[in-house]
């Protein structure tokens, strides 16, 4: 029973120490880049015969 308690403590510690706002913003920029390029080529596919 001591084990789950220990895990809980460590996970709060990690969350508190680090703000990962910039990481979240960065990966979302990456995600939008993936979407834009994919949609671009998909439109090319749709418009060609």
Please give the residue ranges that form the binding site for another protein (CB under 8 A). Answer: 6-7, 10-11, 13-15, 17-28, 30-31, 33-35, 37-38, 41-42, 44-45, 48-49
**Where do runs of H (alpha helix) occur along the chain?**
2-17, 21-47
Which CB, 1 or 48, lies closer to another protein? 48
Q: How many residues does the chain have?
A: 49
Which CB, 1 or 10, lies closer to another protein? 10
Report, in Å, the least distance between residue 2 CB and another protein: 13
Q: Which residues of 24-36 are buried (b: 16+ CB within 10 A; e: fewer)?
A: eeeeeeeeeeeee
């Amino acid at each position: 029973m001591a084990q789950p308690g220990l895990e809980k403590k460590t996970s709060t510690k990690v969350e508190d120490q680090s703000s990962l706002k910039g990481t979240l913003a960065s990966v979302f920029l990456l995600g939008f880049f993936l979407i834009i390029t994919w949609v671009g080529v998909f439109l090319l596919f749709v418009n060609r015969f």
